[in-house]
Amino acid sequence: MSEEILKALTQLFAIITKQDGGVTEKERQFVIGFFQQELDQDSIKEYLELYDKFVGYKKKIEGESEEKSTEEGEEKPVQKRKLTSVRDSVKTLGLCKKINKTLTQKQKLVVLVKILELVGSDKNFTPQRMEIIDTISSVFNIVKDEYKLVEGFVLQEDVSNLQFSDILLVNNEPVNDEPVNDEEENPNKEEETDDAGFPIKKEKAKHFHVEIHGDLIFMKVNSVDMYFVKYLGHDEIILNGFIMLTNRVYLFSNGSTIKTPIGHALYYSDLITQFISDLKISQISFNAQNIEFKFPNGGIGLRDVNISEGPGKLIGIMGASGAGKTTLLNVLAGIEEPSKGEILINGYNTTTQKDKIQGVIGYISQDDLLIEELTVYENLYYNAKLCFANMGEEELDKRVMDVLTSLGLDQRKHLKVGSILDKTISGGQRKRLNIALELIREPAVLFVDEPTSGLSSRDSENVIDLLKELSLKGKLIFVVIHQPSSDIYKMFDKMYIMDTGGYPIFYGNPIQAVTYFKEVTNQVDAKRGQCESCANVNPEQVFNIIEAKVVDEYGQLTNKRKINPTQWNDFYLEKFQFEKVEDVNEDPPQALNIPSKIKQTFIFTVRDTIAKLSNKQYLMINLLEAPLLALILAFIIRYKSSPTGMEYIFRFNDNIPAFMLMSIVVSLFMGLTVSAEEIIRDRKILKRESFLNLSWNSYLLSKLTILFTMSAIQTMTFVLIGNLILEIHGMTISFWLVLFTVSCLANVIGLNISSAFNSAVTVYVIIPLLLIPQMILSGLLFNFDKLNDVISTKGKVPFVADMMASRWAYEAMAVYQFKENDFEQPYYRYEENEMKSDFKSSYLIKALKKKLDFINNNISVESDSLQTIVKKDLDIVKYRLNLESNKKGIEDIDLDIALSLDGFNSQVHLLLVTYLETLKDQYLNAYNLSVLKREKLMNYYEKSDDIDYNVNEYKDKYFNESLSDLVRNIAVKERLLEYKGQLIQQIDPIFNTPDNPGHLLDYRTHFFAPKKHFLGMYFDTYYFNIIVIWIMTILFYITLYFELLRKVIDSFGKVKIPKAKG
Amino acid sequence: MEILNLEGAEDTPKIMLDKANGIFELSGRSLPEDSAEFYQPILDWIEAYESDPNPSTEFTFKLEYFNTASSKLILDVLSALEDIDGMSIVWYFHEDDEDMEEAGEEFSELVELPFEFKTY
């Protein structure tokens, strides 16, 4: 409370108490008490002096007549009423206005209660005083009815006069009407419901029975949702560890506990439900029968578990570590399938009829399931959005805010959650927010795994209190709890205690657990479950008994237990009868309405985008990585080798082919790294969201949307900067398309490994394994013709390389750059003709002639090996001649007969040699013609006035010699190669249109082919290759969708480690 | 606009609100049973006046006494007057009545209106 407000309050107190007879000693004591609460010792004196000054305390002792408040006495009306001075009235207004500006409505209510208490402390309720207070309440904007309620609550000492529906009386009077409270079987209350004969006139106030002397009165103030309590009586009632003074008003805050002298505990949640009358208890039955669970390695995790519960229960699961608590919870929640027995919710099997109970089960694991980059509010908001498709924005916002407020997180809603190491909200708040994620959709059956671990005792109690409150609203809640405090322990309706090896050893009332174990072991004070004086229960005691060790003759504890798990289990089977809850026949209440898949994708995308945008580091690295790499790479390889001068000329940069490969590698690398961690990071969140039956496809699509966008930006910046520095003109979009495609493929591959492996480290180790083969088989570093014989095929790209995106991408880029650059593009088709004719006239025909000569010389030699060669050569010649369209001179011969071992003779030889001569001439002519045409076109361009054209300038700008050498393969020694009965053209692959598809689906060609054949059609290499990469992307998406990689890896795991877990 | 004219009594002030003649006055003693109810017509009248006020308005308070509940409503009246352009307040007090003078000063601090203090 600020000094200013405290001063204002002091004055208010003074103004009120100086009315009508002035302040009494009791009232002054009250004020002192108030100061003691708010201030340190030194300041009390200061404020008390201030108060005394305002109230005129000293003067009062001397004589009352001096008092200012009565100065208006002369103008007394007939009734001799003393009047409040007008100055005090206006002053009061001023003070209230000041308070209005700083205090919240809740605080103002507390101030009002204090003022009323002050007046009530000496029961001096004169009309003047009450009028002032009434005015204060109206300036505070407290509604009339509520003021009446508060006034009655604070001042009234006769409980029968308190007839408000927002008042709850707690006393030992028997319950008069319907046994509202008997529903809950809280063990801490021994309700006497049988003696209900005494009629009490309590028409409006609520009533709750507890064995105490006097009355505890609770008040709810609806407008601010606050609870106050006061006690009238002489028992020692303890509120949150402090003794309650009689007739003193206390704030009954969230999670408060009241203890009575005889050891009853009244919990906040118990009492709050008394005020919430319009509760609909959902019909839920939960039956787990004869459950057994085997671990994959064969070890038994649970033995013969029977649990049967109805709605509105808070069930604790306890046990030594390793007893199988979490296993039990997972089995009950349907995450793990029991090996025997079945679990039915309203008669529906949790493992086989999941669709029927969709959204009924909620699961809060120990893991932290928050999205670190989002704020508290956003975490909850997007979660809610995925649960409630039919809710409007406003309703959604309200629901989120309600949950946040009820968990005390509303003040923190704009804080970023942050990682566990980089905390912005506390551990308790994290835990509560995790719980909120499930709470918001209010599942009918909730499973919670150790909600209190790592929390302070205060936070732990808040959390359990919250769960208790939920159970009171009709939810069935199972909680695995570890080392609960006495207060927490007592909040449970039932305890399920397990012993090592999955043996159930207790199922029932928590307090009785203590007595049960004491009785079984014949302990002295077996009947006493809790401490008589402080009502505390020590749950540790239970485990001390269960795990008690045998002592050897030297008094040393041995490792042997007095009673082993099986024996405990025998006792259990003997003592406990299992009562099955009748299966409810209606469908369980479903609080879930999942949005359509498209909408889910949208929500996922927005959520992820916001998370990514708020992670500045991630964003910076990812956005700067590409331009930076481009800058470094391009700068280093900007090589000046111009033969004429010092300036940089694109045409003579030898590094362009390598640059293309590097840009592909960079795209792959960026694509992989950006996606590799995506799914791993979300795995825990996905586990929880699996209870919502959200679409995996939508999730993946949202990931792809974001990753593809990121890749598009990265590759675009890379190409822009790289091409700018290296002066690669006119290739921006076409290069980008290839790199983007490659990057997208890498994204999907990255998601695949991200979904398959468990840790980010593994994933990053895998990346080189994926990248290096891409580099090896890209076609640039190692010539496809010079690979290991096992994989290499001459004249065709090897199969293994076909599986590499890098090879397709590289070919696409190189072919496109060579064919479509502004210089080459107009001349390409002439050059193609030129080169084809040239190849035939100068290499092919020569080779064929040589073969014919060889055949002619050797056909009659009777040697098997020679005959084989001759046969092969005949086939080669036949094949080649068949491809020629011009058959002039040989039209009369049947090549099939003439070019066979039997049909070949010197006459045929002569004929064919002559034919080849004419063919050669024909190709020479064609060559010359093409050259002529090309030069003509060149001349035309140079002379044309429309375009500013200079052959050399254009060539310098757009054409790269090094790349040209590469795609024309001019360095090759043997321009024509004979391989496996075929003559293969080695030179000029870029001008060599593949002409021999083996079958319709044959897509294979030599590297740098200008066109590709498939399904009897020809496609441009650039587009064909891009489509191939996209098809790969789709295939990988399918494996991702079915998580094939993960399944394969899991199946390896199963084979390898049969005896891992114990 | 209608004139609001209420004769004063033992517990209620005299009220004269006359737009045409430029008379706006609250005088006498104010300690009505239900002050909110008593002041409501005045607040209503001011609200109506606000939509079409005179270029300048001089509102006179000439009170002998008012109780706490009335003080709240007088503040409401003053707050309502705050929204009207050309409004000024004339606060009369008896020359011996220090309390009334100080009350006027307190009011002047709570609202943003020009106050003129006069004795009678």
Closest CA to A372 of A431, A441, A432, A422: A422
Q: How many CB pairs under 8 A join A and B?
A: 63
CB contact under 8 A, B66 and A88: no
CB contact under 8 A, B68 and A131: yes
Burial of A96 (0-12, 13-18, 19+ CB in 10 A): buried
CB contact under 8 A, B68 and A132: yes
**Amino acid A280: pLDDT:** 55
Residue with the two structure tokens 């009170």: B63
Residue with the two structure tokens 């709470």: A439
- Please say if the pLDDT value at position A204 is more than 80: no
Candidate ranges A38-52, A151-165, A417-431, A597-611; pick with highest mean pLDDT? A597-611
- Please say if the pLDDT value at position A1026 is more than 90: yes
Over residues A28-55, the mean pLDDT reads 83
pLDDT in tens, A694-712: 888 999 999 999 999 999 9
**Using H for helix, E for strand and C for coil, what is the string for A859-884?**
CCCCCHHHHHHHHHHHHHHHHHHHHC
CA–CA distances in Å: residue A143 to residues A101, A138, A167: 18, 7, 17
pLDDT higher at A514 or A1031: A1031
**Amino acid A72: pLDDT:** 41
pLDDT higher at A779 or A593: A779
- The Cα–Cα gap between A1024 and A1051 comes to 37
Q: Least CA distance to A70: which residue of chain B?
A: B99
Percent of chain A exceeding pLDDT 90 equals 19
- The Cα–Cα gap between A171 and A185 comes to 19
Q: Residue A197: which pLDDT band, with cuts at 50, 70 and 90?
A: very low
Residue A314 phi, psi dihedral angles, 5° rounding: -115, 110
- Please say if the pLDDT value at position A647 is more than 80: yes
Residues of A in contact with B103 (CB under 8 A): 86-87, 89-90
Classified as helix, coil or strand, A1020 is strand
- The Cα–Cα gap between B92 and B27 comes to 9
Residues of B in contact with A128 (CB under 8 A): 68
pLDDT higher at A840 or A426: A840
Residues of A in contact with B107 (CB under 8 A): 90
Residues of A in contact with B40 (CB under 8 A): none
- A693 interfacial to chain B (CB closer than 8 Å): no
Distance from CA of B10 to the nearest CA of A (A): 8
- Please say if the pLDDT value at position A231 is more than 60: yes
Distance from CA of B64 to the nearest CA of A (A): 9
- A84 interfacial to chain B (CB closer than 8 Å): yes
Q: Cα A673 vs. chain centroid, distance in angstroms?
A: 19
**Amino acid A176: pLDDT:** 54
CB contact under 8 A, A86 and B109: no
| Residue A353: HSE in the Cβ half-sphere, 13 Å Cα cutoff | 13
Closest CA to A475 of A484, A466, A488: A466
Report whether A441 contacts A362 (CB < 8 A): yes
pLDDT in tens, A388-447: 888 888 988 988 888 888 777 888 888 888 777 777 788 778 888 888 888 888 888 899
pLDDT higher at A262 or A753: A753
Report whether A664 contacts A806 (CB < 8 A): yes
Residues of A in contact with B79 (CB under 8 A): none
**Amino acid A392: pLDDT:** 85
Over residues A241-261, the mean pLDDT reads 75
Q: Least CA distance to A94: which residue of chain B?
A: B110
- Please say if the pLDDT value at position A736 is more than 90: yes
Q: Residue A267: which pLDDT band, with cuts at 50, 70 and 90?
A: low
DSSP 8-class letter at A509: -
Report whether A792 contacts A785 (CB < 8 A): yes
**Using H for helix, E for strand and C for coil, what is the string for A220-276?**
EECCCCEEEEEEECCCCCEECCEECCECCEEECCCCCEEECCCCCEEEHHHHHHHHC
Over residues B13-33, the mean pLDDT reads 88
CB contact under 8 A, A91 and B66: no
In A269-346, beta strands by DSSP E: 286-294, 300-309, 313-319, 340-345
User: What is the DSSP code string of A181-202?
Assistant: GGGS--TT-----S--------
Q: Cα A142 vs. chain centroid, distance in angstroms?
A: 44
- Specify the DSSP element, H or E, that contains A856: helix A845-858
List the single residue in B67, B102, B110 with the smallest CB-CB distance to A131: B67
pLDDT in tens, A670-691: 999 999 888 888 887 887 777 7
CA–CA distances in Å: residue A220 to residues A156, A242, A253: 16, 21, 11
Residues of B in contact with A87 (CB under 8 A): 99-100, 102-103, 106
Q: Which one of B71, B92, B110, B115 would you mutate to disrupt binding with A, by most A Cβ within 10 Å of its Cβ? A: B71
Closest CA to A508 of A494, A519, A498: A494
CB contact under 8 A, B68 and A88: yes
Closest CA to A82 of A134, A27, A138, A18: A18
- Please say if the pLDDT value at position A501 is more than 80: yes
- Please say if the pLDDT value at position A294 is more than 70: yes
Max Cα–Cα distance, chain B, nearest Å: 39
CB contact under 8 A, B103 and A86: yes
Q: Least CA distance to B109: which residue of chain A?
A: A94
Query: What average pLDDT does the structure give for chain B?
Result: 87
Report the amino acid identity of residue A56: G
**Amino acid A189: pLDDT:** 37
Q: Which one of B65, B68, B105, B106 would you mutate to disrupt binding with A, by most A Cβ within 10 Å of its Cβ? A: B68
Dihedral angle sign, alpha carbons of residues A447, A452, A457, A463: negative
Q: Residue A362: which pLDDT band, with cuts at 50, 70 and 90?
A: confident
**Amino acid A1049: pLDDT:** 86
Identify the weakest region by mean pLDDT among A57-71, A234-248, A309-323, A917-931: A57-71
CB contact under 8 A, A84 and B69: no
- Please count the residues of chain A: 1062
Q: Cα B118 vs. chain centroid, distance in angstroms?
A: 14
Q: Which one of A68, A83, A86, A132 would you mutate to disrupt binding with B, by most B Cβ within 10 Å of its Cβ? A: A86
CB contact under 8 A, A135 and B72: yes
CB contact under 8 A, A72 and B65: yes
CB contact under 8 A, B107 and A90: yes
CB contact under 8 A, B69 and A134: yes
Q: Residue A201: which pLDDT band, with cuts at 50, 70 and 90?
A: very low
In A392-513, beta strands by DSSP E: 445-449, 476-480, 494-499, 503-508
Residues of A in contact with B100 (CB under 8 A): 86-87
Q: Residue A179: which pLDDT band, with cuts at 50, 70 and 90?
A: very low
- Please say if the pLDDT value at position B94 is more than 60: yes
Report whether A956 contacts A881 (CB < 8 A): no
Query: What average pLDDT does the structure give for chain A?
Result: 82
- Please count the residues of chain B: 120
Residues of A in contact with B35 (CB under 8 A): none
List the single residue in B67, B100, B110 with the smallest CB-CB distance to A94: B110
- The Cα–Cα gap between A95 and A97 comes to 5
pLDDT in tens, A311-343: 878 899 998 877 888 888 888 888 888 888 888
pTM of the model: 0.67
- Please say if the pLDDT value at position A931 is more than 90: yes
**Amino acid A1023: pLDDT:** 95
Dihedral angle sign, alpha carbons of residues A769, A775, A779, A785: negative
- The Cα–Cα gap between A895 and A1035 comes to 46
Burial of A141 (0-12, 13-18, 19+ CB in 10 A): exposed
Q: Which one of A78, A90, A99 would you mutate to disrupt binding with B, by most B Cβ within 10 Å of its Cβ? A: A90
Percent of chain A exceeding pLDDT 70 equals 90
- The Cα–Cα gap between A739 and A671 comes to 10
Helices (H), A727-804: 732-756, 760-776, 799-802
**Amino acid A958: pLDDT:** 92
**Amino acid A309: pLDDT:** 85
pLDDT in tens, A965-974: 999 988 888 8
Residues of B in contact with A91 (CB under 8 A): 106
Report whether A454 contacts A437 (CB < 8 A): no
Residue A833 phi, psi dihedral angles, 5° rounding: -60, -45
Distance from CA of B39 to the nearest CA of A (A): 15
- A90 interfacial to chain B (CB closer than 8 Å): yes
Closest CA to A708 of A746, A679, A677, A676: A746
- A139 interfacial to chain B (CB closer than 8 Å): yes
- Please say if the pLDDT value at position A722 is more than 90: yes
Distance from CA of B7 to the nearest CA of A (A): 19
- A87 interfacial to chain B (CB closer than 8 Å): yes
Q: Cα A720 vs. chain centroid, distance in angstroms?
A: 34
- Please say if the pLDDT value at position A63 is more than 60: no
**Amino acid A205: pLDDT:** 74
- A75 interfacial to chain B (CB closer than 8 Å): yes
Q: CB within 8 A of A451, min separation 6: which ones?
A: A364, A431, A435, A460, A463, A464, A467, A479, A481
Distance from CA of A228 to the nearest CA of B (A): 27
Residues of A in contact with B72 (CB under 8 A): 93, 135, 138-139
Q: What is the CB neighbour count within 10 angstroms for residue A189?
A: 18
Residues of A in contact with B75 (CB under 8 A): 90, 93
Over residues A117-132, the mean pLDDT reads 82
